[in-house]
Chain A
């Protein structure tokens, strides 16, 4: 019988207990970006509604988007989107039974992070009018 004096045992997913490793850091980042992308869908619907409202309401939306705060938020959302997309594809491949060894988890993790950074660079160069 466990003693009632024991302090409460850690509950899932044990964020403070384990030493951070590439596998766990990429996993929690997938969660954090997923939750953050809730704001992304809100902005997407706001954009759709502003566009449906006509040229004037669209100009108001673009005015907010072009402020420094707006650009920082859009940069964060695009980074979260690209990360969650690439890491999500990795999750789907795991679900299908591929790349499940520890070695493959690290290898696909590194490939995934490099892909995200490259796509993020391409997206923002394109967004600021650099032709590629």
Chain B
């Protein structure tokens, strides 16, 4: 792949962005299905204790964390592309992109700390 994709197009960059969006998508397929069925089987009917029990299993905690982080990275990739297509003024798009990236980082920290707290039961 690297032989043909050397960023030789008009923009001079972009392969890494394209690749990261696909890699995160690949991670999101199994982890997204796992989280969806975990919700349906344990969280919806199980209430607080059912949700705690589900997330305290190492497999569920790992899949949830992977889903969260890959999801946020995929979200930043996608929003960056969509904003690039529809928001033409740099003075609007660039500050908004900063908000998206900063918000994603904050959500990654809050989500990771929450999963850790639930998992270790502190």
Contact = CB atoms under 8 A, between A and B. Distances in A.
B75 A49 contact: no
Contacts of B110: 45, 48-49
Contacts of A129: 45
A85 B72 contact: no
A127 B107 CA distance: 26
Interface residues of A, number: 31
B75 A92 contact: no
A85 B118 CA distance: 27
Contact of A52 (B47, B82, B88, B114): B114
B85 A81 contact: no
Main secondary structure of the interface of A (DSSP, over half): helix
Contacts, number: 75
A42 to B, nearest CB: 7
Given A51-B55, A85-B32, A92 B25 contact: yes
A2 B79 CA distance: 34
Contacts of B22: 92, 95
Contact of B32 (A38, A51, A59, A81): A81
A106 interface: no
B55 A41 contact: no
Contacts of A41: 68, 71-72, 75, 107
Given A42-B107, A49-B110, A58-B48, A34 B78 contact: yes
Main secondary structure of the interface of B (DSSP, over half): helix
Given A11-B88, A38-B75, A44-B68, A31 B82 contact: yes
Interface residues of B, number: 34
Given A31-B82, A92-B25, A45 B68 contact: yes
Contacts of B72: 41
Contact of A89 (B29, B78, B111, B115): B29
Interface in B71-113: 71-72, 75, 78-79, 82, 85, 88, 107, 110-111, 113
12 contacts: A13-B85, A35-B82, A44-B111, A45-B114, A48-B110, A48-B115, A49-B111, A51-B52, A81-B36, A85-B28, A89-B29, A123-B36
Interface of B: 22, 25-26, 28-29, 32-33, 36, 40, 44-45, 47-48, 51-52, 55, 64, 68, 71-72, 75, 78-79, 82, 85, 88, 107, 110-111, 113-115, 117-118
